[in-house]
Chains A and B, each alone.
Chain A
Amino acid sequence: MLRMFFSRPLPGVAVALAMLAGPGCYVGVDGDDGSSSISAGPTAGLTQGDSGSSGSAGSDSAGSDSAGSDTAGDDPPPALEPAAASLRLLLHRHYRNAIRDLLGDGPAAVVAPPKDTPINGFDAVGSAQLALSDASVEIYETSARAAAAAAMGDMARIEAYLGCAPTGPDDAACHGKLVATFGRLAWRRPLTDAEVARYVAVAQQAALDSGDFFTGVENVIAALLQSPYFLYMVEVGAADPEDSSRRYLTGHEMATRLAFFLTDSTPAPWLLDAADDGLLDDADGIREVATLLLEEPAAKDALDNYFSEVLRLRELDTLAKDPAVWPQWSPGLAQAMRTETLLLLQDIIWQRDGDFRDYLDAPYTFANNQVGPLYGLTPPGGGEWGDGFLKTPLPEASKRGGILGQGALMSVLAHISSTSPTLRGKFIREALLCESIPAPPGNVSTVIPPAGEAAPTMRERLEQHLTDPGCAACHMAMDPIGFGLENYDGIGIFRTMENGAVIDTVSEVNGATFDGARELGGVLKQQRAVSVCVIRNLFRHGAGHIETSGELPTLIDLEETFEARGFSLKALLVDLVANPAFRMVGTPE
């Protein structure tokens, strides 16, 4: 069956590229590290996805073989060249949740793992590239010891790990049982005999020194939690017995990747059992497991955390606003905005299991006594707003719809005292379209004309700026998108006037005209690059690296499956983790 893509073509990419490659844009310099300029990004990716120069019709035939098949994915597509995996330090939330699942809430409350360091917008990318410091190792030692000490307050759990009654401090066999059972859960794989012996020696020294078997238990738990096998996701893979040029993540590596990706925590015992039994060695087994994981409450929390990261909602925690401009700004309002955005996403993903792209133009939101009045909304059932959030229709006149008209993004993507069409446009290019925007250059004037009679509105001020060809080449890709959102001020309040002038909010994105958030979302959701970008972002977080040119075509093909399943995000997650791009790794280099 030949499916036509003309209904959702990629004109915007070409438009953006034309602008970015224009004269005066400083992006043309190739780095001495071999990385290419930004304009190569979308071109390279989508050209490959479209099977070369044959245009969008080509992508149909390229992708149709695998689309829609539930068992697709056991045979890697010829184009797939998986990147070599790196050691991936557990993220802050992974570490804390793993301690919770291994030892309980008490121990989880006393750990303080290092902060994450994002690279390219993803914590997971930084965690796969950076090395530990003295301070981090010290923190991990302190946290492990504190967690182990707290765990000794829950002897029922400790005894369950032991499965034996110690005969005395010198009962090495009983220590060995604990190392094997607890170690397997903490390291997410069975320990070798040599590893068990190494850690039994740690337990024995402590037990014999103190004369207390359980001092040995406490010390060995602390030691196992400092091991690189706990701290890093080790994803070395193993050669496919049928074709040694291919490497797949082992069952235990896959269980680990699945659990941290889908539930932000360590694999549960049943999942490790499944890995032991070889159930994660093929796509069907992986689908089954992923479906089960998505039914756990932790899956919802994990996606909340993921969206808080990629949509930058967590910046609301410390976001400052100019009290002279927005006296109503408060930490409570900021948190309500974050909740509003997450509730919309949860509604689409979990309650409705609907077309995920609705998050861009849904004509309703979730409001309470913080955000409801900010938007001028009245409670749907009448009466007064309360603390609780109510699903509320959005009046068309506000042009609101989807996340782009919500307070959270409008506040984060703004300056402290004003809006920023540039930041809004940059976010949409980067986070929603997966395009690269180059960094601002050095040694250029960054003066923006002040608000005045000639240019009363932010749009007019920036449009003056855009007459500078050195700036325009790149700002043309960003600012116009933001111009169409100028009805929402720097904390998302609707306005039609700025400095006494009417704000013109009719603008263009990728050749399509729009006015306001809902129309912008409507335009974006029709663009294939947007649904491909949903996949790319999930992959970046789940696999710990930005997809390479050897992986991108496979991810682009997956978009067909995404569409075939009505753009269900839950279904996409299952398809993604079963995909060869997610399951395979290159040979360590």
Chain B
Amino acid sequence: MRFLVRRLGFLLVALWAALTLNFFIPRLMPGNPAESMMARFRGHVNPAALHALEVAFGIGGHQSLVTAYFEYLGNTLRGNLGISTSYFPLSVTSVILKALPWSLGLVGLSTVVGFLIGTAVGAIAAWRRGGKMDSVLPPTFIVISAFPYFWVGLLAIWLFAVTLNWFPILGGYSETAVEQWSWPFAGDVLTHAILPAFTIVITSIGGWILTMRNNMITVVAEDYVKMARAKGLKNQRILWQYAGRNAMLPSLTGFAMSLGFVISGAILVEYVFNYPGLGFMLLQAVQTEDYPLMQALFLLITVAVLLAIFVSDIVTAILDPRTRVRA
């Protein structure tokens, strides 16, 4: 119980620190959203709009930084994230809700798939150290994961979408398709998701393989594994339930963190594929100095990562009683 309380306390302090940084960092950037928006228009709107925009965004008011800070804390706790300045006049919540499913679906699923495949390959590779699989798969994927992501993404586009024409190049769905719950639309979304998902999986797999393989090698040498062998248990059972379960613990924390980062989308993936998710939105929010949207996205990422770590702590504690303090 004390363990749980301590972890919870840490969670709250980390949250407060994140909120505070989140409030101040965007304000250290030069300019303000109204000026940034005028710069985007390149002379296409009446210059007088600068004043109107400043009024609309509440810039240049007499509110002090301290008042604004406490107002921000209060609003955030009440779930009021404000109005996006780049997607003005949409509320930040509605903007995020539009993009969230796309990131969760694409990045979430491919992260899970990448983790599962990577961990399995790592475990098997370590089990049959020096075997064919061990000498081919881990090095290949580690090399792939060392490539810059956008290069892999563009290569995949060039090969599978442009040259072979198997998949569409960009977007979450066809440009003029109607968003609705129907089989043709679901199929449309799926064909658009395959290529970006594939690139996420092949670039993330290497890390999982490496971690799992290294852990597994140590674990396999443990006495209890020797004991299991001596008992004559089936190889499969020793591999997954004796060695695999313990070797997976460090990977699990990493997995929890990467699940947290799913919320941020994969910025490069979404940019390269014009995918309408949160990562692309974050990029845009930074470019246009959309403070409310930026803050909400950073907050969401922080909360997701903190929660994911919290959950992984609990799970680790359940799987491995030694991590419980004076249990």
Partners in one complex: no
